[in-house]
Structure 1
Amino acid sequence: MHSRFVTLNGDEEVGVALNTMNERRVNGAPVVDKDNNLIGIVVKHDLYKFLTERGRYPKYPLDRAMTYKVITATEDEDIVTVAKRLRRHDIMAVPVVDGLKVIGLVSLEDIVDYFINQNTNE
């Protein structure tokens, strides 16, 4: 689990969010409210798609382009369960939450690294 990750604010402009993601070299990020509660998730592909639709502009608030139904994990879940969830939902990462607070992020890459390290250390 990454404990250092990018979060975005729902009232941020789409263009600003996209710039932040590009600068931080991430493809997706949880979206939080002013109290840091999870309210959605966004991936770059969805933002690019949003911006190519007629009448959509970089100044639109991010909450108009994000996905509200977020697949999450909890800190106490085992890695195989999380891996199966990623596969089942065909997604690359999930926010790790404690209640509504985002405390980390687990990506498919993290899971692969975990299993590589497990096999290397044996």
Structure 2
Amino acid sequence: MTIATILNQKGRDVFKTDPATTLVEVVKMLRDKGVGAILVAEGEKLCGILSERDIVRALSNHGGSALLRPASEFMTKDVMTCTEDETIVSVMSRMTTGRFRHMPVVKGRKIAGLVSIGDVVKFRIEETEREAEDMRAYIAAG
């Protein structure tokens, strides 16, 4: 199964903001959208990602004044991305090794979606359960 399978089922909506958006505005977006990360972009050009972890780190290092500063100061700039045709297993491995929970999906130079480790694990479990059921059916038919 590929990342396209996840995006086709969960949707391709991506929540993003521009680099000048203040951290407090990003916090409100995370709350209102019920997500754990926001992409930071200029148009379709991905500049970074701002996750809950980045915000906690910003508050820990700079206190409440961080909330009035731009997202660009605290976002992760070196963002690892994937494409729709990558396998779920491959992306899960990269996310686990890199210890991050959100990965933007790109198509060419455009943002095509965003997957979380929860999305990837859920689909991997479903795939494993289907394979086990197929094996049980094969053995029972034999």
What TM-score comes out, normalization by structure 1 length? Answer: 0.87
Counterpart of 1:53?
61
* Equivalenced residues, count: 121
**Alpha carbons of structure 1 residues 53 and 105: separation in structure 2 relative to 1, 3 Å:** same
- Matched letter for residue 91 of structure 2: V
- Matched letter for residue 45 of structure 1: R
Distance in structure 2 (CA, Å) of the matches to 1:50 and 1:31: 16
RMSD: 1.8
Counterpart of 2:24?
15
Greater Rg by CA: 2
Q: Structure 2: state its 5+ residue gaps.
A: 1-5, 135-142
Counterpart of 1:38?
46
Deviating more after overlay: 107-116 vs 37-46:
107-116
Q: Percent identity?
A: 27
Do 2:39 and 2:48's aligned partners in 1 also have CA atoms closer than 8 Å?
Answer: yes
If each structure's helix is expressed as a fraction of its own residues, which one has the higher value?
2
1:109 to partner: Cα distance: 1.2
1:53 to partner: Cα distance: 2.7
Distance in structure 1 (CA, Å) of the matches to 2:28 and 2:73: 17
What TM-score comes out, normalization by structure 2 length? Answer: 0.76
1:31-69 Cα deviation digits (max 9, x unpaired): 111x22111011112113213334743221110111100
| Aligned ranges 1:62-81 → 2 under 5 Å | 62-81=71-90
**Alpha carbons of structure 1 residues 13 and 116: separation in structure 2 relative to 1, 3 Å:** same
Distance in structure 1 (CA, Å) of the matches to 2:125 and 2:61: 41
